[in-house]
Structure 1
Protein backbone atom coordinates (compact mmCIF):
# COMPACT_ATOMS: atom_id res chain seq x y z
CA UNK A 1 0.00 0.00 0.00
CA UNK A 2 2.78 2.43 0.87
CA UNK A 3 4.70 1.68 -2.34
CA UNK A 4 1.60 2.32 -4.45
CA UNK A 5 1.05 5.54 -2.56
CA UNK A 6 4.64 6.62 -3.20
CA UNK A 7 4.33 5.86 -6.92
CA UNK A 8 1.05 7.74 -7.18
CA UNK A 9 2.43 10.74 -5.30
CA UNK A 10 5.55 10.71 -7.48
CA UNK A 11 3.53 10.62 -10.70
CA UNK A 12 1.22 13.30 -9.28
CA UNK A 13 4.19 15.56 -8.52
CA UNK A 14 5.54 15.08 -12.04
CA UNK A 15 2.14 15.84 -13.54
CA UNK A 16 1.67 18.91 -11.36
CA UNK A 17 5.12 20.29 -12.15
CA UNK A 18 4.79 19.69 -15.89
CA UNK A 19 1.23 20.88 -16.28
CA UNK A 20 1.49 23.81 -13.88
CA UNK A 21 4.52 25.25 -15.68
CA UNK A 22 2.91 24.72 -19.08
CA UNK A 23 -0.45 26.14 -18.03
CA UNK A 24 1.23 29.01 -16.21
CA UNK A 25 3.08 29.99 -19.40
CA UNK A 26 -0.11 29.79 -21.46
CA UNK A 27 -2.11 31.64 -18.81
CA UNK A 28 0.49 34.39 -18.44
CA UNK A 29 0.65 34.85 -22.22
CA UNK A 30 -3.14 35.03 -22.55
CA UNK A 31 -3.42 37.26 -19.49
CA UNK A 32 -0.76 39.68 -20.74
CA UNK A 33 -2.40 39.76 -24.17
CA UNK A 34 -5.93 40.34 -22.86
CA UNK A 35 -5.10 42.95 -20.23
CA UNK A 36 -2.89 45.96 -19.70
CA UNK A 37 -1.93 45.35 -16.08
CA UNK A 38 1.67 45.91 -15.13
CA UNK A 39 2.86 43.09 -12.90
Structure 2
Protein backbone atom coordinates (compact mmCIF):
# COMPACT_ATOMS: atom_id res chain seq x y z
CA UNK A 1 0.00 0.00 0.00
CA UNK A 2 2.90 2.32 0.66
CA UNK A 3 3.95 2.09 -3.01
CA UNK A 4 0.50 3.28 -4.08
CA UNK A 5 0.77 6.39 -1.92
CA UNK A 6 4.27 7.07 -3.22
CA UNK A 7 3.06 6.80 -6.81
CA UNK A 8 0.07 9.08 -6.24
CA UNK A 9 2.24 11.61 -4.40
CA UNK A 10 3.95 12.49 -7.68
CA UNK A 11 2.34 15.65 -9.16
CA UNK A 12 2.65 14.41 -12.74
CA UNK A 13 0.91 11.15 -11.90
CA UNK A 14 -1.87 13.03 -10.08
CA UNK A 15 -2.43 15.21 -13.16
CA UNK A 16 -2.48 12.10 -15.33
CA UNK A 17 -5.03 10.38 -13.09
CA UNK A 18 -7.20 13.51 -13.10
CA UNK A 19 -7.07 13.67 -16.91
CA UNK A 20 -8.06 10.02 -17.22
CA UNK A 21 -10.89 10.41 -14.72
CA UNK A 22 -12.32 13.46 -16.50
CA UNK A 23 -12.05 12.16 -20.08
CA UNK A 24 -14.38 9.71 -21.77
CA UNK A 25 -11.58 8.78 -24.15
CA UNK A 26 -8.06 10.16 -24.35
CA UNK A 27 -5.65 8.94 -27.03
CA UNK A 28 -2.07 8.48 -25.89
CA UNK A 29 -0.71 11.20 -28.19
CA UNK A 30 -3.13 13.75 -26.69
CA UNK A 31 -2.23 12.70 -23.18
CA UNK A 32 1.53 12.89 -23.69
CA UNK A 33 1.24 16.29 -25.40
CA UNK A 34 0.11 17.75 -22.07
CA UNK A 35 3.18 16.56 -20.16
CA UNK A 36 6.89 17.17 -20.41
CA UNK A 37 7.73 13.47 -20.41
CA UNK A 38 8.11 10.90 -23.15
CA UNK A 39 5.66 8.12 -23.93
CA UNK A 40 7.86 5.53 -22.22
CA UNK A 41 8.06 7.50 -18.97
Shorter-normalised TM range: 0.3 to 0.5
Q: Kindly indicate which of the two structures has a greater share of residues assigned to helix.
A: 1
- Structure label with greater radius of gyration: 1
